[in-house]
Amino acid sequence: MSDVSWAVPTALAIVAALVVALVIVLVVRARRRSPRAHAAADAARIAAAEALLRLDDAATDLDIAFEASEALTDGDSTSALRRARAAALRARDRGFAELAALSVSTAVPARRRAVTEALRAQFETQLETIARTRIDLAEWTRTHGTAAGRVTAARARRDEVVRTAGDPAPLIATLRDRFAEDDWRNAADSADAAAAALAEADAALDAAEATPDTSETDLLVHRATDAVRRAARHLRAVEDAHRIALQAADNAGTELAAAREELVAAVEIAEARPAECAPDAAERLRAARRDLDAAADEADRRPHTAIETVARIRELRDEVLLDAPSPRRRLEAARAALPGTLACARAALAAAEARDDRSIEARLRRDRARRELAAARAATDAGVALENARTAWRATSAR
C-alpha cells in the first residue's frame, strides 16, 4: 500500500512535467511560425538584399577600377590584387544564388531569419574586403603608369568598342524596313543608349586630358570606363536584337506549321482521354489554335511575336495534357519546343539587360535567368533543358 501511495504522486508529477514540456515545445514552435516571426524573417531578407545590392555595386565598381587603372594587364605586381578582385566577383555571384535560394526556402521563419542574417553578415564582410582592395589598388595606381597613359588607354578601349561593334544604324534600318515596331523598338532604344554612353565617355576623357589634377584625371577615366562598358553592352543588345529578329523571321513559318500540327494531335489526346488531362484541356487547346492563327496572320511583320506565341502554346499543351502523352511523345515534344523556348529566353534576358534595372529584384531575376540558361545548355535531357529554358524565360519576361 505504501508503494502505491508513493508511485501515484510520482506518476502524476512525471505526467505533469511531460505536459509542461509539451506546452513549452508547442509555444516555441508557434512563436517560430508566428506572424511576428514571418515579419522578422522578411525584414532580414530585405536587409540582406540591400547588402547584396551594395556588394554588387561595389564589386562592379572595383572591376571598373581595375580596367581603368590598367591593373588587369600588369604582371606579377598585381597578382594579389587580381586574386582579391576575382574573390569579390565570385562572392557577389554566389550571393545572388544564395539569396535566391532563401526566397523559395520552406524552412520555418526563425530558421530563415537566422540563415539570412548570417548571409547578410557575409555580404558586409565582403564589402569591407572590397574597400581595402580599392585602397590597395589606388596605392598601386599612384606608383605605376601615368594619368596621361591611362587616358590614352581608356580612349583606345573606347575606339575598340566602336570598331568591333560597328555602326548600329544599318541594323536598325533593316529592322525598321522589315518588321513592326514591336520587333525593333528595343534595338533602337539600345542604339540611342549606346550613343549617349559614348558621348558621356568622350566628355569625361576630354575633361581628363584638360585637367592637371592627377586624382581628378583618374576619377574621370573611371567614369569614362564605366560609360564605355555601358555602350558596349547596349551595342551588343542591338546586335542581339537584329540577330534574334532575323532568326525569328527565318523560323516563324516552320514553327507555326509544326505547332499547328501539334495542336491537332493534342486536341485528339484531350478528347480521347479527358480523364488523364486537365478538365478544360480541349477547350483551352482550341483557344490556343485561335491565338496561333492570329500570330500567323502577322508573322511577316512580327516574327518574334509568332515564335513567342508558339513557345507559349507548347507550354500550355504540356500543362493541360499532363501525363496523357506517352514518354516518347513527351520527349519528342520537348525536343521540338526547346529551340524556340531558348530563343525566347535569350531574347528576354537580352532585353532585360539592356534596360539595366538596378533594383535588387530585377538583378535577382537576371541572375536567375543566366543560371537557368546555363543549366539548359548543359542538360542532356531535353525535358530538363526545356524546363530550365522556360524558367529563364519567366524570370525576365512580362508573362
What is the reported pLDDT for 283? Answer: 95
CB 388: neighbour CB atoms within 10 A? Answer: 23
pLDDT tens across 121-138, in order?
A: 999 999 999 999 999 999
Q: What are the tens digits of pLDDT across the range 66-103?
A: 999 987 776 666 788 999 999 999 999 999 989 988 87
Which pLDDT does position 351 carry in this prediction? 86
In percent, how much of the chain has pLDDT > 90? 75
The C-alpha cell at 376 is: 539548359
Q: How far apart are the first and last CA of the chain?
A: 78
Give the number of other CB atoms < 10 A from CB of residue 94.
12
In 3-state terms, the chain is what percent helix, strand and coil (to 5)?
90, 0, 10
Confidence of residue 172 (pLDDT cuts 50, 70, 90): very high
Residues 131, 57 contacting (CB under 8 angstroms): no
pLDDT band at 38 (very low <50, low <70, confident <90, very high): confident
Residue 62 is predicted with a pLDDT of 96
Residue (of 307, 202, 192, 191) closest to 246 by Cα position: 307
Query: pLDDT for 14-25, tens place per residue?
Result: 766 666 555 554
Q: Cα dist. 1→9, 10, 14, 15, 34 in Å?
A: 13, 15, 20, 21, 49
Instruction: Quote the longest CA-to-CA distance of the chain.
Output: 107
Q: What is the pLDDT of residues 183-217, one digit of tens each?
A: 899 899 999 999 999 999 999 999 999 999 999 99
* Tens digits of residue pLDDT in 222-259: 999 999 999 999 999 999 999 999 999 999 999 999 99
pLDDT at 30: 47
pLDDT tens per residue across span 150-169: 999 999 999 999 999 999 99
Q: How many residues does the chain have?
A: 399
Residue type, 254: T
What's the rounded mean pLDDT across residues 137-155?
93
The DSSP result for 352-371, as a single string, is: HHHHT--SHHHHHHHHHHHH
Asked if the model's pLDDT at residue 380 lies above 80, the reply is yes
Single out the residue of 279, 212, 288, 217 nearest to residue 256, CA to CA.
288
pLDDT in tens, 343-367: 999 989 988 888 878 888 899 999 9
Least confident of 21-35, 54-68, 287-301: 21-35
Q: What nine digits make up the cell of 144?
A: 605605376
Query: Residue 36 pLDDT more than 90?
Result: no
- Average pLDDT score over residue span 263-279: 94
| All residues at 6 or more sequence positions from 48 whose CB lies less than 8 Å from its CB, including other chains | 99, 102, 116, 117, 119, 120, 123
Helix (H) or strand (E) run with residue 382 in it: helix 382-396
Which amino acid type is present at position 382? Answer: A
Nearest to 353 by CA among 234, 244, 194: 234
Question: What b/e readout covers 154-179, taking b as 16+ CB neighbours within 10 angstroms?
Answer: bbebbeebeeebeebeebbeebeeeb
- Give the Cα separation of 170 and 172 in Å (integer): 5
Q: What's the confidence (pLDDT) of residue 18?
A: 67
Q: How far apart are CA 281 and CA 320, in angstroms?
A: 5
